Structure 1
Amino acid sequence: MPLTGYTIPRSPTGRSSLVPYPPWHYVGDFLVVEYWADPDKAVTVLPNGLDPHPDAGRCALVFADWQSCSDAGGELLDPSRSQYKECFVVVNALLDGEEVTTCPFIWVDRDFALTRGWLQGFPKKLGSIWVTRTFGLDSPADPGVRAGARFGATCAAYERRVAEATVTLERISETGPTHNDPPIVNVRHFARLEAGRHDEPAVHELARSRSRDRIVSPVWEGVATLSLYGAEHEEHDLLAPVRVGKGFRFTFGYTVDDQEIVKDIRS
């Protein structure tokens, strides 16, 4: 019997595969903080094939508390396989003149989400992420989604705090977040171990994320704070804020079963 499965480990039935076959369905609560980094530093994280945005320092930090599943939906009955949280930075850029974003740094707290991200081009690392939750009840422990509600989020990696943010809601947003709105184009990179060829990756390409069946709740906006902290094993503080804009809170869902390979950038 041949081994099967979408990702390793492949097995006789495929049930051991870390990531199931797409489509993958997602829904999650988001905190987004729009901000500006030093533009000269922001352009240093852009991959080959992307050009600086006219507003080169335009960035966003995103915290997401996710639930996801494959078509059969069995993960929803085994929540440790469906729930995860992540924190990531996006930088605005241009792809052949088109406004896009790219994600140079991201942390996630579950292995299946890390592997699924690598397949899509997100450079995920393991981290510890926490986000204020709301449950729709009138309780002192529930901020609710209303004017004056306060939300916070933190991210740590290798026991070091690397990011924290707060958002105090003021009103329903007319625009929603704009710094992370353009399509996201990331680098799918898989290294080669063969001696003498370590600098010749097996895969090194720009990939545009595609999704469908997108649905979003009303988006609230308000005042935000943001701090990025340096660590010996991280470089995201290159993108530390020099100016912080609005913060946003909303719930978002979509499905992924496709991707566009834009450019091979191995040479």
Structure 2
Amino acid sequence: MRGFLYPRTATGRASLIPSPPWHYSGDLLTVEYRTHPGRVAELLPPPLAPAPDGPGAVALIWADWQSCGASGEELLDPVRSQYKECFAVVRCAFEGRVYSRCVYIWVDKDFAVLRGLHQGYPKKLGSIHQTRPHPFGPAPRLAEGARFGATLAAGDRRLAETVVTLTGPAERNGFVNGHPMAHHRWLPSIVPGEPDAHEELIESGAAAFEGGPVWAGDFELRLFDSPTEELTRLPVVEPIGAYYRQVGVVWNGGRVLAQRAGGRMPRNSQSPPNAVDRTSSDSVG
């Protein structure tokens, strides 16, 4: 049977995603703020702990992506490459190191959901939109005073909306999503009442990264209640800032930090050879 993940077939042609490396080009609109540290802590299962400084920091990121496998063929069949997402990121600590962690994420394509299953992102389907810059016509330019809007909805209900007003260039695209990701990969047992059949804490990050100029800004953000979502449990207590940046990212796997929550550490605890230090919002799924 061939194919990277589901479905595996005799030829592998029907597999929803190719094997890594995965390549991404995207426009990121990020808003950062502080919420109640206890609300972040409740989303950090063992062996993770809150970040030692700024434990209540949150980044809510809208991204408009084009993605592909090593061959790049999806770029010429855009329905297979283009998707949008919105994800909430917090920071956490493990064995004295600070990590970023995606706690909520919505995407609008099935292949993005399946990639998230492999990477440990808790992806759900949603409706995501954001203003695109353009040098002509009424669309905003990348300049002081330009205004960008973004919305998130899921299950027929709006969950978030923001308006960002650019104030000028900046050195970096925020700090919350600037670390390797620490995610859990879970697979429930097929036997009712039994522990998870698979549980591991993994680290992953960009194998390669490039980015354009960073623009900072001010923002307004509204979060809305839903019977099936919990984003409003991370309310805005103090705004930090907003950012716009175009990025290119390569993702090519990660490493296991721990198996079972709080369990035994694997022998190989070195960073993967394809990982690079991340200084911008460049997590992808």
Could you tell me which residue of structure 1 aligns to residue 272 of structure 2?
A: none
Could you tell me which residue of structure 2 aligns to residue 37 of structure 1?
A: 35
Could you tell me which residue of structure 1 aligns to residue 15 of structure 2?
A: 17
User: Deviation digits for residues 200-238 of structure 1, max 9, x if unmatched?
Assistant: 112221111132220000000011122222211111211
Could you tell me which residue of structure 2 aligns to residue 84 of structure 1?
A: 83
Q: List, as ranges, runs of 4+ consecutive aligned residues in structure 1 with deviation greater than 3 Å.
A: none
Could you tell me which residue of structure 1 aligns to residue 166 of structure 2?
A: 169
Matched letter for residue 152 of structure 2: C
Q: Output the CA distance in 1 between the equivalents of 2:107 and 2:10.
A: 29
Q: Output the CA distance in 1 between the equivalents of 2:26 and 2:168.
A: 20
Could you tell me which residue of structure 2 aligns to residue 131 of structure 1?
A: 130
Distance 1:196 1:40, change over 3 A: closer
Could you tell me which residue of structure 2 aligns to residue 253 of structure 1?
A: 248
216, 240, 244: which one pairs with 2:239?
Answer: 244
247, 259, 264: which one pairs with 1:264?
Answer: 259
- Within 5 A, what are the aligned runs for 1:74-223? 74-135=73-134, 137-140=135-138, 142-197=139-194, 200-223=195-218
Matched letter for residue 105 of structure 1: Y
User: Deviation digits for residues 92-151 of structure 1, max 9, x if unmatched?
Assistant: 11111211111111100000001101100000000000011123x2311x1011111111
22, 26, 29: which one pairs with 1:28?
Answer: 26
TM-score when normalising by structure 2: 0.88
User: Deviation digits for residues 227-250 of structure 1, max 9, x if unmatched?
Assistant: 222211111211111111110000
Q: Is the 8 A contact 1:224 1:245 kept in 2?
A: no
Q: Is the 8 A contact 2:159 2:223 kept in 1?
A: yes
Q: Is the 8 A contact 1:49 1:265 kept in 2?
A: no
Q: Output the CA distance in 2 between the equivalents of 1:193 and 1:229.
A: 35
Q: Does 1:228 align with 2:226?
A: no
> Could you say what secondary structure the match of 2:237 adopts?
strand
Q: Output the CA distance in 2 between the equivalents of 1:229 and 1:207.
A: 31
Q: Output the CA distance in 2 between the equivalents of 1:226 and 1:165.
A: 4
Task: State the shift of 1:263 in Å.
Answer: 0.9
> Could you say what secondary structure the match of 2:161 adopts?
strand
Q: Output the CA distance in 2 between the equivalents of 1:168 and 1:209.
A: 32
Could you tell me which residue of structure 1 aligns to residue 281 of structure 2?
A: none
Matched letter for residue 15 of structure 2: S
Count of matched residue positions in the alignment of Structure 1 and Structure 2: 261
TM-score when normalising by structure 1: 0.94
Matched letter for residue 181 of structure 2: I
Q: Is the 8 A contact 1:48 1:265 kept in 2?
A: no
Structure 1: unaligned runs, 5 residues or longer = none
Matched letter for residue 158 of structure 2: R
> Could you say what secondary structure the match of 2:113 adopts?
helix
Q: Is the 8 A contact 2:173 2:244 kept in 1?
A: no
Q: Give the superposed CA RMSD.
A: 1.2
Matched letter for residue 14 of structure 2: S
Matched letter for residue 131 of structure 2: T
